[in-house]
Structure 1
């Protein structure tokens, strides 16, 4: 049994699909502060298999320990946490409490339950302003915002835990920019309030929920003046977690980038999404945001060497899959219904 914290969230729901499709049993834990349990109902419909859901907060050590013991959990994939860079600048202590303290209590519960295999959701924000490109795992670590600093503190904490020679098997996965949705259109990103990430905002403009996109700066030293990022399909990202889990056979610590190695500008994304959706994306140019960098993309070489993992999906597919999700779910999971028996059969045939 694999415990997935934050299992009802955007990345968590796709990780649950990857695990269930691989024949693994899953218990998903989520406090639903920024997610919707409907995602897990759809996960089970897609996979044709059941998972266990428990409403719980990772800061509740006793409850997490009880769950670990009750279901005979053998490994944890830890995705729970607050993740908005801008919000972290406004509420830094809330981020430290949720992300750092939450992880401390999760690890303490794992130790009590004798569960010592952990895949941790870290972030490329730990690198800060790139000193060279592409970013490999040896790049200096200097995050520029509280969110990134919480990820770095947790990484250092887990490094010290492994050095304690206590038999821990841990993998830190440094995500770049997850986008896209499950190809069925049933599971995708459903941010609460105004999206803080580019693609869901673009999709909401395309569907008519937002009037226009604001692009933060067009005077960067890039071909079209807008920032360049490494966008990775969430399905590829989810498969990286499965690869990491399979690789953790011996005690120790692995730290791995999950990115494509390709950089796309904001305007590249806008144009590709327009082509995928057949909709125009109006936008306006705003001032640069503090802390944003011009260019950031991964060196994914070590992921292939250490995990046998590579990304396979293009920006076009990322946009097509995200648009399918948005088109079928214009208001996200709000008021959503489970697919019909016919729809479920179609998805089972597709993925079976």
Structure 2
């Protein structure tokens, strides 16, 4: 890892990841560590995650480094060590203290903001909690970033910003009107970030802040080693981890309840666009590289920005085709050998019939790809669950 004109190693860039111990955060951090370009700082309050995930991520990255480089440099070894902070984003004093502690170490170069509450059904039951945790905390984070002159942000958004989309597959220019409280928190945060990118500074200069919003579709699977994977606290909310827990016996429900089979889809059940968690994580690394001023990728990404003054861009991260609930059940039946029983009940508030990405923009501008198929997602998920029936506990 050297500069173009010398043999001097490039200094590691300090990158802060909020929600670093979660399912998405841990795989994003793993992918960042593999580049050996960043010093990763994790903030997590462990509301829906476990500290052990980060220990495993670091161990996995170090093991892979030693396999590929028998005599790794001290800096490369340091790049596999995560600076871990237990912290709540709605506590600005604690977050500010973390930023301050890196001021003498080059400052925090960029932030990947993943932390959020994300259960669609729950969001309608406790909306104020969701708005406080997802929206107010994001505003506070932006204020602290501005205070410490940290001008690069990757925002973890969601396909739910599209609500019930008028056209499938969904393009980025589709209007945003989240059809659930959770979805609306994501819309609000995107608008806030975009407004901040567009703002004019006191001296009349354009705000140097630049941000990329990644609108996730449905991440699935785990690292193929089975060493890290998805382990929410309590009963899983999402379909694939729920099926894995049912097969391994940690969720003892004899029947999977399917929320509606009267949607305008092939088999009447909801259709979603699934992509492998490692493909999603790779998209974050590319997006982070796109925030490096002066690079060809930076110029390419923001040349087509819809932001009037500043630099804000949104991308869909998905495969571009969907799978229904019953197709997912069939795929997991093949992967696990478990004979799932299903029962159709009423629709769930906030669900929409189809959410399928048009990932063409991310492919064209970022070079993003999601090659791993559903069979691989289910196989890797099941490998993780069998090896870790109780997750990180």
Q: TM-score range by the shorter chain?
A: over 0.9
What is the Cα deviation at residue 276 of structure 1?
A: 1.2
Q: By how many angstroms is 1:308 displaced?
A: 1.2
Of the structure 1 ranges 282-291 and 71-80, higher mean CA displacement relative to structure 2 is found in 282-291
- Does structure 1 retain, via aligned residues, the 8 Å contact 2:19–2:115? yes
Matches within 5 A, 1:287-326: 287-326=346-385
Provide the residue aligned with 1:106 in structure 2.
Answer: 141
Once the two structures are superposed, the pairs formed by residues 244-323 of structure 1 within 5 Å of their partners are 244-250=287-293, 252-323=311-382
CA RMSD of aligned residues (A): 1.1
- Structure 2 spans left out of the alignment, 5+ residues: 1-13, 63-79, 200-205, 294-309
1:159-190 CA distances to partner (integer Å, 9 max, x unpaired)? 11011121001001111111111111111111
Shift of 1:305: 1.6
2:286 paired residue among 219, 243, 262: 243
Is 2:120–2:350's contact at 8 Å kept on the other side of the alignment? no
Query: Is residue 202 from structure 1 mapped to residue 237 from structure 2 by the alignment?
Result: no
Q: Which residue of 2 aligns with 1:50?
A: 81
Listed as ranges, the gaps of 5+ residues in structure 1 are 335-352
Measure how far apart 1:279 and its partner are.
2.0
The structure 2 residue matched to 1:186, chosen from 227, 247, 261, is: 227
Structure 1 runs of 4+ aligned residues shifted over 4 Å read: none
Equivalent pairs, count: 334
Structure 1 partner of 2:193: 158
TM-score, reference length from structure 1: 0.92
**Segment drifting more, 63-72 vs 190-199:** 63-72
Distance 1:286 1:252 in 2: 45
Report if the CA contact (8 A) 1:135-1:296 is conserved. yes
Tell me if 1:91 matches 2:126.
Answer: yes
Answer whether contact 2:212 2:314 (CA < 8 A) is retained: yes
Which shifted more, 4-13 or 51-60?
A: 51-60
CA distance in 1, matches of 2:178, 2:40: 33
* Aligned partner (choices 74, 78, 81) of residue 113 of structure 2: 78
- Structure 1 position 290, deviation (Å): 2.4
- Whole-angstrom distance in 2 between the partners of 1:329 and 1:284: 28
Residue 97 of structure 2 corresponds to 66
My pick for the range that moved more, 66-75 or 110-119, is 66-75
* Contact residue 119 and residue 245 of structure 1 kept, 8 A: yes
- Does structure 1 retain, via aligned residues, the 8 Å contact 2:121–2:349? no
CA distance in 1, matches of 2:136, 2:249: 39
Compare CA radii of gyration and give the structure with the larger one.
Answer: 2
Match of 1:349 in 2: none
